[in-house]
Structure 1
Amino acid sequence: MPVVVDPENETLASLLAALPTGAQGVGSVDRMLAWLTQHSDEYVVVLGPHVSLEEAVGVCESLRTTRPTVSVVLVRGTLDTATLTSAMKAGARDVAQTEDLPAVEAAVARAYQLHVALRGPSGAAHVGKVVTVFSPKGGVGKTTMAVNLALALTDRGARKVCLVDLDLAFGDVAITMQLFPTHSIEQAVGAEDSLDVAMLEGLLTRHHESLMVLAAPPHPDVRERVSAQLVTRVLRTLRENYDYIVVDTAPAFDEQTLTALDETDECVIVATLDVPTLKNVKVALETMEMLNIAQDHRHLLLNRADDAVGIGPDKVEAILGMGVAARVESSIDIAAATNSGTPIVLEKPTHQSSTAIRELAAHLAGDSVAAPTSASTPDQTAVETTESDRVARRFRLRR
């Protein structure tokens, strides 16, 4: 996919709009270089007009030898002989004017053709991680935590992250981020056997902080038409193109949530320090243990965690039988940030809550920011086994 670099958000958005869905936007050359170190399948870098010519020439000269399959397209406000000469000598594949977006689009298409010719159309499959955020009780701030965790996992554009709202009846991810999606998972209903990356990308909504969102349906009645098979297809398709897929779930073990949990690599369980919630979480953990869900990959996030309520982290750990992975204290700043449409990790990156969430994101990502590549796409036999296991799990749960 293309990587676009420009420090001006408006220009960045304009360039991204002209490029294939899934193109990544970053604000600096440093972020672009960090991105390229983690993604071997990128084929073009588009340097916007607010990247200085000197810096652009340096990028061209560097990538020409270190990443010869990655083309550089230089976008300038005005074109003159000196600029063209410098760019071509440094190794830029194309130069286009800022206002000529069709020319930028054509240059990126040519870069892709060159990439295929140099490397061939086949290559190692990209396999991302699914991080499911779950709580058996509503009102604990699960969606707020999911949104902030997804933003933290992007690492300011260094990772490709998609946030999926699987609270299909009353999902709040879009409104929390003040997004107004034109499509949602509803448009994928019926495409269980044909859904691919290109189709799914067309249903996503871009957040300006390098995050893509698959919104919940606008009406609760759609929930019954979103099958477990479709949820599986969506998550496995997103794995092909994203480093992390963060799933916000409904506060219940419904069919769609159980399917997401079946597909999850890491499960973040959100709880608050009140007896009813802790009771429900304990029952949920016992259920997950029975169904063998996310064994050794469950992480407890305490939200609104104030010692003044009389239940401390030590008591929580004793009640639930698991350690606390992250603790976010009550703060009016979190609510204010959510109401403004700018989540706390963006509004106040040095806030205690932001730090706690970023540390959890770092823990989930591991010491290295590299996306997982060792797993492979399940073959048909593996899929059939998974489906058999899932049926058995449902039967055991219903008993």
Structure 2
Amino acid sequence: MPVVVEADQQVAAGLLRSLPSGTQAVPDTERMRAWMAQHPDEYVVVLGPTMPLPDALAACEGLRVTRPAASVVLARAEVSAEVFAQAVAAGAREVIPAGSPEAVSEAAERAYRLFTALRGAAAVGPSEGKVLTVWSPKGGVGKTTMAVNLGLALAEKGARRVCVVDLDLAFGDVAITMQLFPTHSIEHAVGSEDAIDTELLEGLLTRHHDAMMVLAAPSHPDVRDRISATLVSQVIRTLKQTFDYVVVDTAPAFDEQTLTALDETDDIVVVATLDVPTLKNVKVALETLDMLDIASDHRHLLLNRADDEVGISADRVEGILGMRPRARVASSIEIAAATNAGKPIVLRDPHHPTSLAIRELASLLAGQSVGPPAGVSTATRTAPQQRGFRWKRR
């Protein structure tokens, strides 16, 4: 899918409307390079009109060497002969007026045809993303907070295309956690089970300013019963055709919609807190997943609000649940403050031990390094992470 490099969100939104569904938008060339590294078959980069011309020309020159098969389209508020000559000399394939949706769309189509001619149609064939479900049988364990932060860590401000799906259909909090105010939700797909496609779902998504998309839960609890398992399955399967990662936040239940999501998932992140009632519920839930043969080798335990002082050690957790924790997040007032401010902890404080722990989990799930924030040295990351995973023997 195309990638748009544009810092102004409104301008970026205008360009996205002229490009194919699934086009990614990133704010700067640093995120563009991260996106290109993750997507070797990208066929066009659209440089937005607010990008300073020297930066745009430098981007053209860099991509001409590193990604010669990808077309660079420079969109400008005004196209002059001088700008055109400079851009083409730097390696841009086309220079187009930013205010012409037809010009933007046609340039992308030409780039696609050129790419397929150079590398073959198979090079841009469909590929499926990965579905990650964040789940717990007990409410109040911080599941939504972890799901949102995990999604943002994976997105890495545009390096990957990520969608968080709020399947807590009665009391979903993903949108409010990110201070988003959706005009559409999964409710608006009801009745379209046989017509779900990428274009339909694109119209239901809400964009977060850090390059992550959200499919919100319904605004009223009584809608839950109208959302069928078939709809849930079709939504997840369609989203994974467009997104690198689909992060599903579920209800704390074994209802039909949650079971469908679990059945469609590649990996499950099981969230628990260090109290006996929660661990008991998680144990029973894991046994149920075993009976249903759901993701038996792809479950990852995340312990939230996991402090040494509560008296439950790692060995005891493993003894109770039969699985070793993959990530541990200690209690922290900063997490709650970040959530209340609508800026999740991985964005508000990338250096925080919780942010680092979530990025480590994201790297594990992605099977590749999810880069730390700029300026975080190895030493800076290691010390808090070691503190976060220290367990006292009891």
TM range (shorter): 0.7 to 0.9
Q: Is 1:219 the equivalent of 2:211? A: no
The residue aligned with 1:320 is 321
Asked if the contact 1:204/1:215 (under 8 Å) is kept, the reply is yes
The residue aligned with 1:23 is 23
1:343–1:20 distance in 2 versus 1, CA, 3 Å: same
1:298-335 per-position Cα deviation (integer Å, ceiling 9, x unaligned): 11111111122222333212211110111111111111
Q: Letter of the aligned partner of 1:289 in structure 2? A: D
Q: Letter of the aligned partner of 1:257 in structure 2? A: T
Once residues 286 and 119 of structure 1 are traced to their aligned partners in structure 2, the CA distance between those partners, rounded to angstroms, is 48
1:133-189 per-position Cα deviation (integer Å, ceiling 9, x unaligned): 000000111001100011011123111111001111111111111111111111111
Asked if the contact 2:21/2:198 (under 8 Å) is kept, the reply is no
1:152-171 to structure 2, matched below 5 A, reads 152-171=153-172
How far did residue 48 of structure 1 move? Answer: 2.5
1:208-247 to structure 2, matched below 5 A, reads 208-247=209-248
Q: Is 1:53 the equivalent of 2:69? A: no
How far did residue 94 of structure 1 move? Answer: 2.6
The residue aligned with 1:75 is 75
How far did residue 119 of structure 1 move? Answer: 5.9
1:61-81 per-position Cα deviation (integer Å, ceiling 9, x unaligned): 444465454221213355443
Secondary structure of 1:350 counterpart:
coil
1:119–1:202 distance in 2 versus 1, CA, 3 Å: farther
How far did residue 117 of structure 1 move? Answer: 6.1
Q: Letter of the aligned partner of 1:243 in structure 2? A: D
Once residues 273 and 146 of structure 1 are traced to their aligned partners in structure 2, the CA distance between those partners, rounded to angstroms, is 19
Q: Which range moves more in the overlay, 158-167 or 103-112?
A: 103-112
The residue aligned with 2:200 is 199
The residue aligned with 1:331 is 332
Identity of aligned residues (%): 66
The residue aligned with 1:302 is 303
Secondary structure of 1:246 counterpart:
strand
The residue aligned with 1:130 is 131
Once residues 293 and 269 of structure 2 are traced to their aligned partners in structure 1, the CA distance between those partners, rounded to angstroms, is 15
How far did residue 111 of structure 1 move? Answer: 3.6
Q: Letter of the aligned partner of 1:26 in structure 2? A: V
Asked if the contact 2:335/2:345 (under 8 Å) is kept, the reply is yes
Q: Letter of the aligned partner of 1:72 in structure 2? A: V
Secondary structure of 2:180 counterpart:
coil
1:271–1:59 distance in 2 versus 1, CA, 3 Å: same
Q: Which range moves more in the overlay, 105-114 or 308-317?
A: 105-114
Once residues 16 and 336 of structure 1 are traced to their aligned partners in structure 2, the CA distance between those partners, rounded to angstroms, is 33
How far did residue 9 of structure 1 move? Answer: 5.0
Aligned length: 369
Secondary structure of 1:218 counterpart:
coil
The residue aligned with 2:263 is 262
The residue aligned with 2:276 is 275
1:329-382 per-position Cα deviation (integer Å, ceiling 9, x unaligned): 11111111111111010011101111111110011111367xxxxxxxxxxxxx
Once residues 356 and 13 of structure 2 are traced to their aligned partners in structure 1, the CA distance between those partners, rounded to angstroms, is 28
Asked if the contact 2:157/2:212 (under 8 Å) is kept, the reply is no
How far did residue 219 of structure 1 move? Answer: 1.3
Q: Which range moves more in the overlay, 5-14 or 257-266?
A: 5-14
1:90-120 per-position Cα deviation (integer Å, ceiling 9, x unaligned): 3323324556666545544554455566667
Secondary structure of 2:134 counterpart:
strand
Q: Which range moves more in the overlay, 196-205 or 127-136?
A: 196-205
How far did residue 124 of structure 1 move? Answer: 3.1
Q: Letter of the aligned partner of 1:247 in structure 2? A: V
Once residues 181 and 200 of structure 1 are traced to their aligned partners in structure 2, the CA distance between those partners, rounded to angstroms, is 13
Once residues 75 and 206 of structure 2 are traced to their aligned partners in structure 1, the CA distance between those partners, rounded to angstroms, is 25
The residue aligned with 1:385 is none
Once residues 364 and 203 of structure 1 are traced to their aligned partners in structure 2, the CA distance between those partners, rounded to angstroms, is 27
Q: How high is the TM-score relative to the length of structure 1?
A: 0.85
Q: Which range moves more in the overlay, 292-301 or 57-66?
A: 57-66
The residue aligned with 1:35 is 35
Once residues 234 and 119 of structure 1 are traced to their aligned partners in structure 2, the CA distance between those partners, rounded to angstroms, is 31
Once residues 232 and 8 of structure 2 are traced to their aligned partners in structure 1, the CA distance between those partners, rounded to angstroms, is 36
Once residues 205 and 124 of structure 1 are traced to their aligned partners in structure 2, the CA distance between those partners, rounded to angstroms, is 26
The residue aligned with 2:187 is 186
Q: Letter of the aligned partner of 2:3 in structure 1? A: V
Q: Which range moves more in the overlay, 223-232 or 239-248?
A: 223-232
Q: Which range moves more in the overlay, 305-314 or 277-286?
A: 305-314
Asked if the contact 1:21/1:202 (under 8 Å) is kept, the reply is no
Once residues 348 and 11 of structure 2 are traced to their aligned partners in structure 1, the CA distance between those partners, rounded to angstroms, is 22
Asked if the contact 2:18/2:105 (under 8 Å) is kept, the reply is yes
The residue aligned with 1:394 is none
Asked if the contact 2:302/2:326 (under 8 Å) is kept, the reply is yes
How far did residue 36 of structure 1 move? Answer: 1.9
How far did residue 226 of structure 1 move? Answer: 1.2
Q: How high is the TM-score relative to the length of structure 2?
A: 0.86
Once residues 365 and 95 of structure 1 are traced to their aligned partners in structure 2, the CA distance between those partners, rounded to angstroms, is 36
Q: Letter of the aligned partner of 2:134 in structure 1? A: V
Once residues 96 and 102 of structure 1 are traced to their aligned partners in structure 2, the CA distance between those partners, rounded to angstroms, is 10
How much is the aligned-residue C-alpha RMSD, in angstroms?
A: 2.3
Q: Is 1:146 the equivalent of 2:131? A: no
The residue aligned with 2:355 is 354
